């Protein structure tokens, strides 16, 4: 069982170092995030939903899309 958890942790770490483009969030969302200095999946996951909603141009629908894409890869936003 330990190997299974180790592999999951390693996969999450690998995903966290990927550029945002790997999540296929869409050009608008990627532009907003990169304009805020968020360039990697790990930088995105380090933000809370409230922090992201404070970004100009990023609304509830965009936040939902971000949460879904992160969740599909076993990641989540900061609580």
43: domain CATH number is 1.10.150.20
Looking at the domain assignment, is residue 43 inside a domain? yes
Are 22 and 69 spatial neighbours (Cβ–Cβ below 8 Å)?
no
On whether the pTM is more than 0.85, the answer is: no
Looking at the domain assignment, is residue 17 inside a domain? yes
Looking at the domain assignment, is residue 41 inside a domain? yes
* Tally of domains within the chain: 1
Looking at the domain assignment, is residue 78 inside a domain? no
Residues 32-67: tens digit of each pLDDT: 999 999 999 989 999 999 999 999 999 999 999 999
- For residue 25, give its domain range: 2-72
Residues 21-36: tens digit of each pLDDT: 889 999 999 999 999 9
Looking at the domain assignment, is residue 79 inside a domain? no
Are 16 and 41 spatial neighbours (Cβ–Cβ below 8 Å)?
yes
Q: Tokens for 27, please give them.
A: 């050009």
Looking at the DSSP assignment, which residues form a beta bridge with residue 19?
Answer: 40
């Amino acid at each position: 069982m330990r190997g299974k958890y180790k592999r999951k942790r390693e996969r999450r770490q690998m995903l966290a170092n990927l550029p945002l483009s790997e999540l296929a969030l869409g050009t608008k969302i990627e532009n907003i995030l990169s304009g805020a200095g968020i360039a990697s999946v790990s930088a995105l996951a380090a933000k809370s939903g409230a922090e992201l909603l404070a970004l100009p141009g990023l609304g509830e629908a965009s936040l939902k899309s971000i949460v879904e894409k992160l969740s599909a890869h076993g990641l989540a936003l900061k609580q």
